Amino acid sequence: MKKEVLKIAIQKSGRLNEKSLELLKECGISINNGGKLISSSTNFPLEVFYLRDDDIPQYVAEGVADIGMLGENEVLEKDQKVEVIAKLDFSKCRLSLAVRREENYTDLSWFRGKKIATSYPLILKKFLREEAIDAEVETIGGSVEIAPGIGLSDGIFDIVSTGSTLLANGLKEVEVVLQSQAVLIGNPNLLSEKRSIVEKLLFRIQAAKSAKRNKYILLNAPNKNLDAIINLLPGMRSPTVMPLAEEGWSSLHSVIGEDDFWEVIDQLKDRGAEGILVCPIEKMIV
Ligand code: ATP
Ligand code: ZN
């Protein structure tokens, strides 16, 4: 019987390409790539297709590829029959409305009767419909941010990450319409053999994602404060505590979330913790 291979579409070049390949690598998947259109993994039943991100939803919906990695914004804009399997925590950005800095913007009603330039007409039209704003949508392929400056439109609807592009073009962000990040999408009709490969991949992706969000922490603590310190560091089940050679002290090992890291560190110090080491985690199976 022929062994099933899962076909994944990723961006050929651009913002998502490197991060997508990096995630596969973190999942322990080696890919031999000579800059070709298709390459296969040497140690996982995976074949990688390199495509323009705009084409990925259609290829996945039609079953040319089984799954794909791309921005949620592009998935929503293309509106193809695909399912979002997982959020991938990278390439975070937002889709926003922006107007010229000198405009006296009050609220959404400002856009009534105005012209908005965008490369995301579907998402924008849906939003305007929901908000009952009657505005004209001008679809353009790229460089949307220059449209108001050259008199093509009154406002724009585009991707923003830091806002520096808007600033450089004399624009200000006035409404955030959508938060986006890279996602894994799949064809809804995958056969069970392929589904089980997706499950395997997903398991590895979750392990890589959890590892990134957490750190391994080691510290020395006075025994009298151990309970308070353990409360601060619940870890995966509970922390490991080992006696130090010095009477009255213990070494404690645990896992700490990246987000509450600095706050907890201060509280640990307040409770007499010393010699705090924080190390990256490569994989984390919870
Ligand atoms: P392609 O040639 O494949 O069509 P593209 O020009 O459409 O590429 P990129 O600019 O590489 O796309 O962006 C790909 C995706 O990365 C976007 O759809 C979005 O999800 C995300 N993205 C875009 N700009 C940013 C940004 N400034 N910060 C973070 N993520 C972004
Ligand atoms: Zn694109």
What per-residue confidence (pLDDT) applies to 16? 97
The mean pLDDT value for 60-86 works out to 98
User: What pLDDT score was predicted for residue 234?
Assistant: 81
CA 187 / ligand 2 centre spacing (Å)? 20
Say if residue 59's pLDDT is above 70.
yes
Q: What is the pLDDT of residue 161?
A: 85
Q: Which atom of ligand 1 is nearest to the CA of 165?
A: 27
Mutate to test the pocket of ligand 1, among 15, 18, 37 (most ligand atoms within 8 A of CB): 15
CB 53 within 8 A of CB 74: yes
* Centre of ligand 1 from the C-alpha of residue 13, in Å: 10
CB neighbour list of residue 93: distance below 8 Å, 6 or more residues apart: 71, 73, 159, 160, 161, 180, 181
Q: What is the 3-state secondary structure (H, E, C) of the chain?
A: CCCCCEEEEEECCCCCHHHHHHHHHHCCCCECCCCCCEEEECCCCEEEEEECHHHHHHHHHCCCCCEEEEEHHHHHHHCCCCEEEEECCCCCEEEEEEEECCCCCCCHHHHCCCEEEECCHHHHHHHHHHCCCCCEEEECCCCHHHCCCCCCCCEEEEEECCCHHHHHCCEEEEEEEEEECEEEEECCCCCHHHHHHHHHHHHHHHHHHHHHHEEEEEEEEEHHHHHHHHHHCCCCCCCEEEECCCCCEEEEEEEEECCCHHHHHHHHHHCCCEEEEEEECCCCCC
pLDDT tens for each residue of 182-196 = 999 999 999 999 999
| Ranges in the chain annotated CATH 3.30.70.120 | 214-280
What pTM was computed for the model? 0.88
Residues having C-beta closer than 5 Å to ion ligand 2: 53-54
CA torsion angle 251 257 258 261 (round to 10): -50
pLDDT at 1 over 80: no
- The correct CATH number of 93-180 out of 3.40.190.10, 3.40.1010.10, 3.40.50.2300, 3.40.50.300 is 3.40.190.10
CATH 3.40.190.10 residue ranges in the chain? 6-90+182-190, 93-180
Whether residue 24 is predicted with pLDDT greater than 70 in this model: the reply is: yes
Which amino acids bring their CB within 6 angstroms of ligand 1? 11, 14-16, 52-54, 71, 73-74, 91, 93, 159, 161, 180
Grade residue 106 by pLDDT with cuts at 50, 70 and 90.
Answer: very high
CATH placement of domain 6-90+182-190 = 3.40.190.10
pLDDT of 286 strictly over 90: no
Q: Ligand 1: which of 16, 166, 184 to mutate, most ligand atoms within 8 Å of CB?
A: 16
Mean pLDDT of 243-259: 93
- From residue 26, alpha-carbon distances to 112, 164, 210 in Å are 48, 31, 12
Ligand 2 center–CA 53 separation, angstroms: 5
The yes/no answer on whether domain 214-280 falls in CATH 3.30.70.120 is: yes
